[in-house]
Structure 1
């Protein structure tokens, strides 16, 4: 069975499930985690990936695990690659 759900970027989860409910801005969270504000903003805007080091920092702050964040990133990357491959295959077949 084909999964037709859109890939969900970990930055979307970070923003909607963690930052917004706590009233945290990207710049505030970046300061607390000692990250460059632009780096965290890039994650929230779904323009950057979550690295293992950032996953550890997010896990410590939000009382989750690094694996939680890395699994979100891996799932997102995998889904995007699969969708890209399917689109390329459809173009080839048509």
Structure 2
């Protein structure tokens, strides 16, 4: 039995840091420093997020949603997709060994 991807994707979903780096920063002409200042966090926090070395937290989702006029769910759903995909890759063999139950 083949496990279907939880996310339905064959490749890793786009990390929120990549979205920020490739789409939002250029569109809004922001730098790491100006983004950090705008959302009230350290430059290091933003840099780690942009380099995909840090997961996006609920607190950061609230900050970014306020800044860019979208929703925290937008940001958290992007992070959730990455987290599920990574987890699936890490334990795929274990998941495939689980036998699904059927209702009686």
Q: TM-score range by the shorter chain?
A: 0.7 to 0.9
Post-superposition Cα deviations, 1:26-70, rounded to whole Å, max 9, x if no partner, equal 111001111010001100000001111110110011111001001
1:76 to 66, 78, 82: 82
CA RMSD of aligned residues (A): 1.5
Structure with bigger RCO (C-alpha 8 Å, 6+ apart): 2
**For the residues of structure 1 that align with 2:10 and 2:55, how far apart are their CA atoms?**
22
Q: Which runs of 5+ in 1 are unaligned?
A: none
- The size of the alignment, in residue pairs, is 88
Distance in 1 between the 2:68 and 2:15 partners?
18
Higher helix share: 1
Which has more radius of gyration?
Answer: 2
Following TM superposition, by how much is the alpha carbon of 1:18 offset from its aligned partner in structure 2, in angstroms? 0.7
- Whether the 8 Å contact between 2:49 and 2:56 is mirrored in structure 1 is yes
TM-score (norm 2): 0.77
Residue 64 of structure 1 corresponds to 70
* Stretches (4+) displaced over 3 A: none
Aligned counterpart, 2:23:
17
